[in-house]
Amino acid sequence: MKLTLKIYSGKKVEKTYKAETVDFSFGLIEDVLDVLDFEHMESKADIGVMIVKASKQLKPFLKEIFDGVTDEEIRHTHIQNLIEVFRGLYHYAEVELGSAVSGGEKN
């Protein structure tokens, strides 16, 4: 799975960071799952509020995911893009952990 983080200058995309989920450590996935709870969110607004409230915890994750991104650049992302990044990462973690568990049950 590919994730993209767009850095804006106003409404114009100034820079784009890309990452592959296959490069993420188990610890990163575990930490993101501890912070985010998409299952209990009913709307994009709820998800946006959750991400903003957890921003101090999420910034280090963004730096680990997207090599070279800075705190200042993170301030110039759009919330919709952050929702897409973290929703994608959350979904990836659920699928990967689910397949690991189901694969382990066959043994």
- Kindly indicate the confidence band of residue 5, based on its pLDDT and cuts at 50, 70 and 90: very high
Tell me the two tokens of residue 102.
């189901």
- What is residue 106's predicted lDDT score, i.e. its pLDDT? 45
pTM of this structure: 0.76
- Are 50 and 58 contacting, i.e. CB atoms less than 8 angstroms apart? no
Q: What tens digit of pLDDT does each residue of 81-95 get?
A: 998 998 888 888 777
- Rounded to an integer, the average pLDDT of 88-107 is 66
Residue 50's SS3 state is helix
- Are 36 and 50 contacting, i.e. CB atoms less than 8 angstroms apart? yes
Q: What tens digit of pLDDT does each residue of 41-69 get?
A: 777 788 888 888 888 888 888 998 899 99
